[in-house]
Structure 1
Amino acid sequence: MNFLKAEQPPLFKDHAYKEIKKAIIQHEIEPGSMLNERSLSESLGISRTPLKLALQQLELEGWITSVPRKGIFIKTINKRDVDDIFQLRKANEVLVIELLIPLIDDEAIHRIEVMDKQLFANKEDPVQFVYYDSSFHLSLAELSQNLRLYQLIENLTDHFNWYRFASLKAGKSLDEIHFEHTLIIDGLKAGNVRQATDAVINHIDKAHATIIANLKE
């Protein structure tokens, strides 16, 4: 694993937290893997104290678990968690569309299309594609003008991305994802709530099905 090394002591704990979580989300550290504190400390270029603080935060957030006398392990992706997260995602993103349609204007459409072009331009880079995919969905939430809804979706984004990377590893086509986004945009441009929400539900259901079909528990 090629972690960046922290440069400022006050940032060591935050740096370790961000780097390890990024490696988990991107499946550079696979679900179920055991973490070696000495190896992490050396790779990150920090002492064990800030590393332990970072690991405590990751455990509080549910990314890792400490097993007495065995070690620290990355949580596995299980069907119940995937189902729960996707239920929340579907409900919230349908609400985004319902709130957004009455507010949609040419400026908003232009912004959404720019995000879509950035997504398409990065289809050869799966890592960047996933993050632009997140930005696309967060842009829709922001344009809905419901701050709490935006914050809720933003808070769930890391888990969305963890599952998205699992989906890509399972062979989910980036062209297919981009096409699904195009259908969402078509519904927004038409000002048609049913068309846009059907496209969002189809997009989410397909991602959900791909992950569940390839889930290893």
Structure 2
Amino acid sequence: MGAGRGAAVAAARQYAGYSLTRLAQATSYSKSYLGLVETGLNPVTHEVVAAYERALGVGVYRPDINHPRLIKIEGPEHLRHIREAVEAGEPDIFAQGPTSSSIDAAVAPVLGEAAIENFRRWAVSGETSTLRANAVSILGFLPGRRNADVVVAVLESDAVVRRLCLASEVSRLTQCGWETALQVADDPTTAPEPRRLAGKLAKEAVDPKDTESRWCAGYLLQRMAAVLGAED
């Protein structure tokens, strides 16, 4: 278990293009200590995860959705290519399939204003629901009222994107299969373990760092209220 969690934080670091030396400089931990964490010899504590997220961006260690076509960053050069593409107005991987939390968290902090404006446009009028949903996920990680307003407006008005984002939230939190996640998005009362899901959603609903997750959590909790009440 320790080795698996260590590999996950190592992947988060690599996705963001950080060396161990650079990450050590950005945290209060030594390079040797972080190396032992990533190989599973030291525990991945809450404090270690928090340090990684402060350096790499909130969400880099979040579980990914359970989707057969999930796209991940292949390394620093891939991240650079993605950033250059979106700055130039080319959606690149964001139009090709669902992107991982690691991509969203690694890309969002390095975007210039031109790229952010492109994501705002794609969220509203992207040619495919995949592109619109991925753009909403990126904007959800970005600060500022304008980005939050776009996320909320799209989730409230675009039923297809809303379904994809709700399913992603369910899949990420419970690691259920994608078809099950879509079913729960359509009818939250069908969640296999509603009490467990509700507990996770409650934490997301008050997280100020991701507008998309916060909105989706509130939406799902409201619609699960009846079944949760019936269990009491």
Scaled by the length of structure 1, what TM-score is found?
A: 0.26
TM-score (norm 2): 0.25
Task: Say which one has the larger Rg.
Answer: 1
Higher strand share: 1
| Relative contact order, higher structure (CA 8 A, sep 6+) | 1
